[in-house]
Amino acid sequence: MSVFVASDVLKFAVRMEENGGNFYRKAAELTEKSEAKKLFEFLASEEDEHKKTFATFLSQVTVNDPPEGYPGEYLAYLHNYIDGKVFFTKDSEMAKTIDTASALDFAIQREMDSILYYTELKKFVNDSAHKSIDAIIDEERRHFAQLSEIRKNM
């Protein structure tokens, strides 16, 4: 029996990418170095593209939300579950990683965490969802590689 369905995993992915984009936009806002600002703006656009990709995947699967006590309850639960788990959302926490190297290190770890998360979640979804999950993993691996290359060259 599956604990999650593909739509759950894809909703997680959309939210994780949304939070990632917010993180990079805030990092760009906080940095005074033009090179770092460009880097973070680029990464924010990458997260936005990933979010679009995952939203497209989501539109192609059957959404099977459980019964709710009020409209939007399940989606609110998923958002609260993801917020702060993969990318933090509070400005006070963001202030702890305002230098470029620390922000890159944080982002690299979060991308690796995402890869591991999606790899493990494949065990809990139907085989028919594996293609979508594999596409997500491939996207995250590319992002991880981009971040790692940029960090290595600093």
Residue 42, both tokens: 């680029």
The stretch 64-79 carries a mean pLDDT of: 70
Q: What integer pLDDT is reported at residue 45 of this predicted model?
A: 93
Q: Which residue has the tokens 């995250």?
A: 140
pTM over 0.75? The answer is no
- Residue 101, C-beta contacts closer than 8 angstroms, at least 6 positions apart: 151, 154
* Mean pLDDT of all residues belonging to the chain: 78
State how far the Cα of 137 lies from the Cα of 139, in Å rounded to an integer. Answer: 5
Residue 135 has pLDDT above 60, yes or no: yes
Q: H-type helices in the chain, by residue range?
A: 6-30, 34-59, 73-82, 91-94, 100-121, 130-152
